[in-house]
Chain A
């Protein structure tokens, strides 16, 4: 059976558009609300990334940090995250979910136990921010055995030789970091340059899906729509923070935002 992630790309391609990937933090701002957000945005988003909140996130900017600290403060634990995925999948079986996080959380849970739990709850892919190639080779192999995509990160600092080697080992989907930045940074390079880098990477193996992330907002997403997929994270986390501050419903506001994002890439 085709991994739902690949199916989502296939479907977007048939519709002649980029796939829209969203990132929200599990348990932000509560377990229930984070599930409600997932359910609601799944109508517009093609692939849902769900962040495992961590309290020393070295690659995240202030928006995602705020979401993560909020979720932790509200008591989210690893098993709650799996439960959110499982509950979501009950009504959205084919919508792909990718868990994204830092390796210590997986390490403490136990790699094998973690992957078994991913499988039983319906996780389709994993992004581990601080487990780069080649350190991730063994873990990626374990993921493959469970039919879970291990998604490699590629950066503007990744050398050509390294790109080739990573992509050769990679699963069907990879993630290109648009610029030198933590998440949520302002897009500081022209979108054309990002697309040039993207094309270079795409050429190495055109069959592998490459999504672009970091610094993508309502304003910039349209200019990058020729990519296989685009990830929006911090802008969504920011919307949740803003809604809470103004005592508005984050679920409705985030859904509106995601709908708008989608309209920009159609």
Chain B
């Protein structure tokens, strides 16, 4: 399995939407064939349309706020000893996470297609919060599907969605988390695809959604590339990019512009959610060698039993609590371009403690998974190695969990 150079990874799928001949595709009910095809035609046209790109960039710049900061974590670097630890503070973006890029682009597409309603799924609540923000901005009516378990554990984001005028629809089926939210959102789309646009909150789902999301979050690496050159004069000789991976939208966006570099120069490290140390359940299909299967319209590595029933996951981080993984990451894994590992709930909490102790930065539980591995590995790396961690979300939404697990002093008033 090989990655082609000079062609964006999102455009390396074959005619049927498969990356590497086997990941992705469009395993969808017949009813969705036409709306998906319409969206494909629209997106393929607009992604090369200068006026559309200018419009996107204008919103990114003036509304989302670009570029997000790229800073050295000096105290953390000194504490760890080893590689230089830097962070791209993507949580600077309007709303506090990378999900704003995909949400903005989906609303722009919905406007172009004349749709008045937009629906989306959410796990941690960021995808939902951002979609509700963007929908409000663009005058679209918005419904967000969210697992009941996630509604309970991510209240700040639920409140934000409602404040933005979105209807939050609790999903009680299955494990009551992201996987069920995505299913329910797709069901609603099946029944309302004539009037309603769907935004899939990550680089998952039928191929066109994987592509749109990847195209949108790639803003992160476009900025980072410029920032690295500004800081070091060129792309560092030893660069390591750490990112948490749930569905895979922030990590893909964080890596995309560096795809053609040799991995010896620019290594990608994806950190999945290993779940509680004592539990057998996890949300790390790549790390633990889950079999390929079909979930939400795409073939991917997915946690499942021998029959093909999707297995329940467990993670402290609602944003990573998903049994599958983007087809793009399956492709990157099999093409050996990226390396994947997992951090447990406890690892993430401990990394959160360390980062907040040394830096004025409060990464949410999702990027705390990436920090955990980055800190461990940085120790063993040379001082001229540049480790960059994508701090793709802010911990405000995790206040209750952090208070419960670590105590009050780890939750600053916001």
Which residues of A does B touch, CB under 8 Å?
54-61, 65, 69, 72, 77-78, 102-105, 107-109, 129-135, 152-159, 162, 177, 180-182, 185
Answer whether A177 and B186 are a contact pair too, CB < 8 Å, given A54-B308, A108-B291.
no
- Contact (Cβ within 8 A) A56 B28: no
- Contact (Cβ within 8 A) A58 B297: yes
Q: How far is the CB of B91 from chain A (nearest CB, A)?
A: 31
For residue B16, CB closer than 8 A to chain A, the reply is yes
Answer whether A182 and B294 are a contact pair too, CB < 8 Å, given A65-B173, A158-B33, A159-B34.
no
In the complex, the chain B residue whose C-beta lies closest to that of A154 is B30
Chain A interface mostly: loop
CA distance A103 to B179 in the complex (A): 17
In the complex, the chain A residue whose C-beta lies closest to that of B324 is A56
Most interface-central of A130, A154, A162 (chain B CB within 10 A): A130
Instruction: Enumerate the 6 nearest inter-chain pairs by beta-carbon distance, A residue then B residue, closest first.
Output: A108-B308, A157-B34, A104-B294, A155-B31, A153-B30, A59-B29
CA distance A88 to B308 in the complex (A): 25
Instruction: Pick from B190, B194, B308: contact of A58, CB below 8 A.
Output: B190
Can you list 24 pairs linking A and B with CB atoms under 8 Å apart? A54-B308, A55-B310, A56-B183, A56-B295, A58-B28, A58-B296, A58-B297, A65-B173, A103-B27, A104-B295, A107-B294, A107-B308, A108-B304, A109-B308, A130-B27, A132-B29, A132-B30, A154-B30, A157-B194, A158-B33, A159-B34, A162-B34, A181-B191, A182-B187
- Contact (Cβ within 8 A) A153 B308: no
In the complex, the chain A residue whose C-beta lies closest to that of B294 is A104
In the complex, the chain B residue whose C-beta lies closest to that of A62 is B173
A/B pair count, beta carbons within 8 Å: 111
- Contact (Cβ within 8 A) A104 B174: no
Answer whether A180 and B193 are a contact pair too, CB < 8 Å, given A56-B179, A59-B187, A130-B294.
yes
CA distance A105 to B310 in the complex (A): 10
For residue B35, CB closer than 8 A to chain A, the reply is yes
Which residues of B does A touch, CB under 8 Å?
16, 25-35, 173-174, 179-180, 183, 186-187, 190-194, 291, 293-297, 304, 306-310
Given A58-B28, A58-B187: 8 more A-B contacts, CB < 8 Å = A54-B309, A59-B31, A102-B294, A104-B304, A129-B29, A134-B16, A157-B34, A162-B33
